[in-house]
Structure 1
Amino acid sequence: MKLTTGGEDKELADLLDEALTAFNARATGADDGDEMAIRATDDDGAVIGGLTGWTWGDSCEIHMLWVRDDQRGSGLGTRLMEAAEEEARRRGCRHVAVSSYSFQAPGFYQKLGYVVTGRTPGVPGGHEDVHLYKRLGED
């Protein structure tokens, strides 16, 4: 056996994604995983915000949410999250999970109805990774 350590390895990432997706589908019966992206642009076509995530079975996870500095406070972040939740519902999801560093926006998510389910300490600078969760409807 040989272990190799390095930077990004797209080939390995693709192989692991395929293998874990197959394993997860066998274990759960859910094989409908799909990526999700929402892009916000200005009138000139420049990206002013966006959101990425995935859905799988009845679950949705938000990976990244970003709003350009000059658009913060405009409601764009809320609109992106509402669009993601709407798409998640359309795909049959009943809940959404998101993670936000303590220096980012956990308060923003809480204002949208997300509850803190855990914290992982040790982010550089003495910060935490805050884990949040929201039910989209009745179980």
Structure 2
Amino acid sequence: MTTEHPAGLAVTTTGERDAELSDRLAKELTAFNSAATGASDRGTISIRVTDATGGLIGGLTAWTWGGLCGVDMLWVREDSRGHGWGSRILEAAEAEAVRRGCDRATVSSTTFQAPAFYQRHGYVETGRTLGIPGGHDYVHMFKRLTDAEGS
């Protein structure tokens, strides 16, 4: 949907995800956030686990910024769940985050996904977003990766 505003000053377009717009917004927000915080070390982490045939067993994507690691997604293939892959993947991401200078981590998970998994790994609930479809909540969690002395 496109809406033209009076005097031709602006045009509003609504549609599906726009990759170019997403890239531009990320660039602009990163610059703004860096100026506001002094932290400009934004990076990403990817962990991929494959089987002997190259099939994806599981993986994780995360970001790092200013000493904080944010887990975006962690997934393990259904037939590989319950064998410790999720724990190994999360632990590998946390170790990489510490290697990059992070001392804390954050993750959010819906109540039907894995809040208990993250809590078993030392994450504590810091808040919830209510109203997720199906009567669920989005659980926000936090973990200190290192103590005050950095170990």
TM-score, L = length of structure 1:
0.98
Partner amino acid for 1:75?
G
Q: Secondary structure at the match of 2:11?
A: coil
Structure showing greater Rg:
2
Structure 1 stretches of 4+ moved >4 Å: none
Which ranges in structure 1 are unaligned for 5 or more consecutive residues? none
Provide the rounded CA distance (Å) in 2 between the counterparts of 1:90 and 1:56.
Answer: 13
Kindly tell me the number of residue pairs found equivalent between the two proteins: 139
Which aligned pairs between 1:14-33 and structure 2 lie closer than 5 A?
14-33=23-42
RMSD of aligned alpha carbons:
0.7
Partner amino acid for 2:27?
E
Q: 1:50 is matched with which residue? A: 59
1:35 is displaced (CA, Å) by 1.1
Q: 1:80 is matched with which residue? A: 89
Q: 2:117 is matched with which residue? A: 108
User: Does residue 90 in structure 1 map to residue 95 in structure 2?
Assistant: no
Q: 2:144 is matched with which residue? A: 135
Q: 2:43 is matched with which residue? A: 34
1:13 is displaced (CA, Å) by 0.2
Provide the rounded CA distance (Å) in 2 between the counterparts of 1:29 and 1:131.
Answer: 25
1:137 is displaced (CA, Å) by 1.1
Q: 2:7 is matched with which residue? A: none
Provide the rounded CA distance (Å) in 2 between the counterparts of 1:121 and 1:27.
Answer: 29
Provide the rounded CA distance (Å) in 1 between the counterparts of 2:44 and 2:145.
Answer: 18
Q: 1:67 is matched with which residue? A: 76
Which ranges in structure 2 are unaligned for 5 or more consecutive residues? 1-9
Q: 2:15 aligns with which of 2, 6, 27?
A: 6
Provide the rounded CA distance (Å) in 1 between the counterparts of 2:66 and 2:99.
Answer: 12
1:91-138: CA deviations, max 9, x gaps?
000100000000000000000010000011100010000001100112
1:18 is displaced (CA, Å) by 0.5
Provide the rounded CA distance (Å) in 2 between the counterparts of 1:61 and 1:115.
Answer: 14
Q: Secondary structure at the match of 1:96?
A: strand
1:49 is displaced (CA, Å) by 0.1
Provide the rounded CA distance (Å) in 2 between the counterparts of 1:31 and 1:117.
Answer: 25
Identity %: 58
1:4 is displaced (CA, Å) by 1.1
Q: Secondary structure at the match of 1:88?
A: helix
